[in-house]
Amino acid sequence: MATVGPIPHCQLNFTFNLHNHQMLSKLHSSPLVQVPKFSLKSVNFPSLRESCKQGSLGDAFRSLSLLLTEQSSIPNFNEEAYSLVLELCASKKALSQGQQIHACLIKTYGLCDSVFLSTKLVRMYGKCGSLLNAEKVFDKMSDRTIFTWNAMIDSYVSNGEHIGALELYQKMRVLGLPLDAWTFPCILKACAALKKHRFGAEIHGVAVKCGFGAFVFVSNALIAMYAKCNDLEGARLLFDSINEEDDTVSWNSIIEAHAAGGQSLEALSLFSRMQEVGLASNAYTFVAALKSCETPSFVKKGMEIHAAILKSNYYVDLYVVNALIAMYAKCGKMEQAERVFKNADGKDHISWNTVLSGLVQNDLYDDALKLFRNMLNIGQKVDQVSVLNVIAASGRSGNLLNGMVVHAYAIKNGIDSDMQIGNTLIDMYAKCCCVKYMDRAFENMPEKDLISWTTIIAGYAQNEYYLEALNLFRKAQIKGMCIDPMMIGSILQACSGLKSKTFIKEIHGYIIRKDISDILLQNAMVNIYGEFGHLDYAISTFRSIESKDIVSWTSMISCYVHNGLALEALELFYSMKETGIQPDYIALVSILSAAASLSALKKGKEIHGFLIRKGFSLEGPIASSLVDMYARSGSLGNSIKIFSSIKKRGLILWTTMINANGMHGCGNEAVDLFKKMTAEKVVPDHITFLALLYACSHSGLIAEGKKFFEIMKYEYQLEPWPEHYACLVDLLGRSNCLEEAYHFVRSMPIEPTAEVWCALLGACRVHSNKELGDIAARKLLQLDTENSGNYVLISNIFAADGRWNDVEQVRMKMKGNGLEKKPGCSWIEVGNKVHTFVARDKSHPLSDDIYRKLAQVTKLLENEGGYRAQTKFVLHNVGEEEKTQMLHGHSERLALCYGLLITPEGMAIRITKNLRICDDCHSFFKLASGVFQRVLIVRDANRFHHFENGVCSCGDFW
């Protein structure tokens, strides 16, 4: 409630001066104006009563001044007059005017023997927020009644000094002072605020013992206390024991208790019961019921309550209006919230702030900033809550200029030193990537709490100032800050950014030593260990989580996917479903990625069906993941269907579809998609051009590839990455333009990376250009690459020339760098299960049958297709017979023979291999597709091969 402005001192015919509220010692000596005395039956006393009833301080002071001049010799009469005005000052929180009355009382009576007026002063100071003066008046009183003690307890509670209220109550008990019914509501409020359930229960016992337990207002205070101490059962038992079922306050208390306790369904059930028993609702009932509807699932009920309010007389009640705005805002219905706000007859600062908070909570940041400007333009009161909301809106929208303007406003109005404002400013500058001002806001804070330190550390980590984040963390420890899981989460982000495995293990040890681990931190540890390839640590941490939530399972699934263990990810996904935990949006995106990695079409379709059954919106990341899964599972047709069904296509979806066409060798289709995308004003990024160049490369579209490389650089101003250069080198190399490719590499504005030299070397191997191949191999060896595949490629080229000494040197260097050749591995999905094979594998239960089938197939292809093993592609220094056996044992052939053995005739067989398919196996599959009249779809490390009627979609160049 707003404070009323000062009343002219002349109205009371005396003047005084107060310094720092020390009004009891320093007073002006100006005497009261002496006027003749009148009879007791003054005309001014009814006028004073009416002024106080109307809440007019000015009129009340004028009436009191006239009354005092008439009745100055009749103390009892004056006591009642002073009492009325002190009560008005308390209700208006008019501290300055209350101090004037206090000064007048001291000057007139000395305030030595009026317990009644002293009690009124204690109450007035307490309500006006001047607890120190309330204590001074209380301490100076020689006599006190129970009303005095209650007033002082209420003063403590009103000013948030709940411990002081409890201590005063205990003092009363020690002195053996008698209590009255009004003592209990105040002291129970203090217990509720401090969550002192046990103390509250003891006071409950005292209330019953004193005979006040049956008082309805005491019972209501007890219900509220139990509810706020998280004992809803106790609150409900007490409510059910109340005989007076027609007491609206009791119903309001229990509805409010359940709403505050998060039991919306029970609160609304009680609200309905209240209607059924015929008890009329009031403003507090509606507000309590509306609080129960502050989630989207209860918005329909909230609208019904809104309709009931419109029919009642409470729609004009500001308290109800604000509750309606809050309910709609928290349910995400800002249009309805703003409509209620606009139609309200009166609005206070709470109304404005509720709309402002709602706009921020619903990510309508521009609207929030606009509303704040309107508040300033019309002179609406702007308080700390308003400023906090608009700073948060500026940060979340990345509007640095607006944030700085509000910061300046906070400085101008002297609220920038507030800790909450300071913390929000740090967060705003962090989100706007303005580290300099973020740091300054932190340093300028007169006091800092744990949130301040956590926010600044998070700001540094989010803006990639990882070392600064770690240094501040050490400072926080030195200052003795109580480190919490949220701060540790930011430090883990910094460790991840620094790629420091040592720091991560140290932080993990710190978490264990300090016993500050919670499920959020445990999930973060699983993620970060997975990111660094520490699978053992990730699995161990995951298993140590006692109550795994959806994030725990998703983190471990993502960990497996990230480390190339897609099969383990799928198995974990099905284990999660067995526990009854339903996958969410993120889990489904991760598992679609696992299915795509394995080309597990059946499992991918199962997940697609699950998405449809559960009502997930097939848009955004889900749509892109589905398109990618079908494409990488060899079903480009389904990818196209999903893509075509999406109305709002973002850049990621377009890029995914371009890439899908590229991996299936459909370069022209990829180019057409790019043209359609740009026609729809979707701006491509680096990844889009990478997918496009990849598609051109795998379809031999040289002119188009060169053109798009130039478009990327000059039309879209995108500086090519090393991967783009590698793609163009690969494109030129595939078309046997090796000299042009080499010239392009030498003219690159950046130092060629391993990927670039590898692309050139691969083309040299295919086209048997030994001279350029030797240059590329030497350059690749000089780069000391950590990719084992590059060493294998160099070794294979040397082996093809019979340079076995050079082969041995490459292998020794590879071993010295701690690298191993990745073993060839193939997967095939049969019978809703993914079967894995490695070269010369005999671990499969049907291994004997598979090898018999392989021998039959090989014989058939030799007789009918003219197949002859091309041992020149076996780059090992062994005999011809052993080379033949090595070719026959390749993992993709074992997978093929298993598919021929198990699947019905004529059914397409899909196989995935982790390495590039060798030339001999490529010939083997072409012949097999013609002899067995099967479509064979093989996805290797480079692309898809669709074998049909003895022909491959790659045109024998991959």
Q: What's the pLDDT tens digit per position in 490-505? A: 999 999 888 888 888 8
How far apart, in whole angstroms, are the C-alpha atoms of residue 774 and residue 761? 8
How far apart, in whole angstroms, are the C-alpha atoms of residue 883 and residue 563? 32
Looking at the DSSP bridge assignments, the partners of residue 911 are 828, 938
Q: What number of residues does the chain have?
A: 958
Q: What is the amino acid identity at position 750?
A: I
Share of the chain above pLDDT 90, in %: 58
3-state secondary structure (DSSP) of residue 329? helix
How far apart, in whole angstroms, are the C-alpha atoms of residue 130 and residue 324? 33
Reply yes or no on whether the pLDDT at 40 is more than 50: no
For residues 74 and 40, the answer to whether their CB atoms sit within 8 Å is yes
Reply yes or no on whether the pLDDT at 878 is more than 50: no
Q: pLDDT confidence of 556, banded at 50, 70, 90?
A: very high
pLDDT mean over 894-911 = 94
How far apart, in whole angstroms, are the C-alpha atoms of residue 124 and residue 129? 9
Reply yes or no on whether the pLDDT at 456 is more than 90: yes
Predicted pLDDT of residue 31: 30
How far apart, in whole angstroms, are the C-alpha atoms of residue 48 and residue 55? 11
Residues ≥6 apart with Cβ < 8 Å to 343:
none
For residues 655 and 667, the answer to whether their CB atoms sit within 8 Å is no
Q: pLDDT confidence of 941, banded at 50, 70, 90?
A: confident
Phi-psi region of 818 (alpha: psi -120 to 50; beta: other; left: phi over 0): left
- Ranges 72-86, 375-389, 530-544: which has the least confidence: 72-86
Cα dist from 652 to 334, 854, 951, whole Å? 30, 43, 33
**Secondary structure of 900-914 in the HEC alphabet?**
HHHCCCCCCEEEEEC
pLDDT mean over 145-158 = 94
Looking at the DSSP bridge assignments, the partners of residue 827 are 836, 912
Phi, psi of 192 (to 5 degrees): -65, -45
For residues 555 and 569, the answer to whether their CB atoms sit within 8 Å is no
Q: What is the amino acid identity at position 562?
A: H
* CB neighbourhood size of 813 (10 A): 15
- Summary mean pLDDT of the chain: 87
3-state secondary structure (DSSP) of residue 410? helix
Predicted pLDDT of residue 71: 54
Q: How many helices (H) and strands (E) does the chain have?
A: 50, 6
Per-residue model confidence as pLDDT tens digits over 344-357: 888 898 999 999 99
Per-residue model confidence as pLDDT tens digits over 126-137: 999 999 999 999
Q: Which of 29, 4, 3 is nearest to 16 (CA)?
A: 29
How far apart, in whole angstroms, are the C-alpha atoms of residue 488 and residue 481? 12
How far apart, in whole angstroms, are the C-alpha atoms of residue 784 and residue 770? 21
Predicted pLDDT of residue 718: 96
Predicted pLDDT of residue 381: 85
pTM above threshold 0.75: no
Predicted pLDDT of residue 77: 52
Predicted pLDDT of residue 822: 77
Predicted pLDDT of residue 214: 82
Reply yes or no on whether the pLDDT at 201 is more than 80: yes
How far apart, in whole angstroms, are the C-alpha atoms of residue 835 and residue 898? 9
For residues 729 and 760, the answer to whether their CB atoms sit within 8 Å is yes
**Secondary structure of 162-222 in the HEC alphabet?**
HHHHHHHHHHHHHHCCCCCCCHHHHHHHHHHHHCCHHHHHHHHHHHHHCCCCCCHHHHHHH
Predicted pLDDT of residue 809: 84
How far apart, in whole angstroms, are the C-alpha atoms of residue 658 and residue 624? 11
Reply yes or no on whether the pLDDT at 563 is more than 80: yes
Q: List, as one string, the DSSP characters of 507-556.
A: HHHHHHHHT---HHHHHHHHHHHHHTT-HHHHHHHHHH-SS--HHHHHHH
Predicted pLDDT of residue 880: 54
| Alpha helix stretches (DSSP H) within 633-753 | 636-645, 651-663, 667-679, 686-697, 702-710, 722-734, 738-746
Per-residue model confidence as pLDDT tens digits over 167-184: 999 999 999 998 999 999
Reply yes or no on whether the pLDDT at 25 is more than 70: no
Residue with tokens 């320093």: 26
How far apart, in whole angstroms, are the C-alpha atoms of residue 827 and residue 891? 9
How far apart, in whole angstroms, are the C-alpha atoms of residue 388 and residue 357? 9
Predicted pLDDT of residue 828: 94
pLDDT mean over 702-722 = 95
Predicted pLDDT of residue 70: 62
Predicted pLDDT of residue 38: 32
| Higher per-residue confidence, 517 vs 575 | 575
Buried b (16+ CB within 10 A) or exposed e, 331-360: bbbbebbbebbeebeebbebbbbbbbbbbb
- Ranges 331-335, 429-433, 600-604, 804-808: which has the least confidence: 804-808
Reply yes or no on whether the pLDDT at 629 is more than 90: yes
How far apart, in whole angstroms, are the C-alpha atoms of residue 131 and residue 136? 9
Q: pLDDT confidence of 111, banded at 50, 70, 90?
A: low
